[in-house]
Amino acid sequence: MGTPHIGAEKGDFAKTVLMAGDPLRAKFIAETFLSDVKLVNTVRNALGYTGYYKGKRVSVMASGMGMPSIGIYCYELYNFFDVETIIRIGTCGSYKENINLFDVLICSGACTNSNWIKQYGIDGVYSAISDFELTKKAYDTAHKLGIPTHVGNILSSDNFYNDTTWKKWADMGVMGVEMEAYALYSTAASLNKKALCLLSVTDHFLKEGKATAEERQLNLKKMIEIALEIAE
């Protein structure tokens, strides 16, 4: 059947899809963590794979960068391919002193400076939140695995550069910034589906230092392991 952006057939995707921004990260996850892997999408190089993790059928796919991009892919996965759960696994910059590089953020809610919600005709401010059961499972799994995590609000920003308002968001308790969670959570809510965003801290607004390529890969493995363990 396929869609304009996903060249797959119904049944090619598992009920749970892990979404990474980078197509090569999706490829890395599939080749490193999954068995009996099948490539199910190559349109626009938004690579998608389906395989098995500890006997569970799981898919992983690239979302691209920004809310418009992930919004297209998550809508099509939910609406046309019978996907029930999408877990975003990405990176972020942190605003908070108590959060360190390489910690994992479990995003129970997402703020935004985008007009994303206007498409739904809502005359107000919509609070985009994660699925509670997924959030709790992620927290419990991270605790069991000894992975440092923080649960709270994230900012989904439309701009990567020229961020002059981050201190105001930090004052409101926002943990940090990324670019996709709000669109994912809003789309899931509009379609009565499940969503969660897990983020690895690779940059910091208050502390010096950035993650090296090697450190990013090690830290991402921790986040990916949490996502795979809670996949339904």
- Using one digit for the tens of pLDDT, what is the confidence trace for 100-155? 999 999 999 999 999 999 999 999 999 999 999 999 999 999 999 999 999 999 99
String of DSSP letters for 7-38: ---TTSS-SEEEEESSHHHHHHHHHHH-EEEE
Nearest by Cα to 86 from 76, 94, 95 = 76
Over residues 12-30, mean pLDDT: 96
- For residue 203, indicate whether it is catalytic: yes
- Using one digit for the tens of pLDDT, what is the confidence trace for 108-121? 999 999 999 999 99
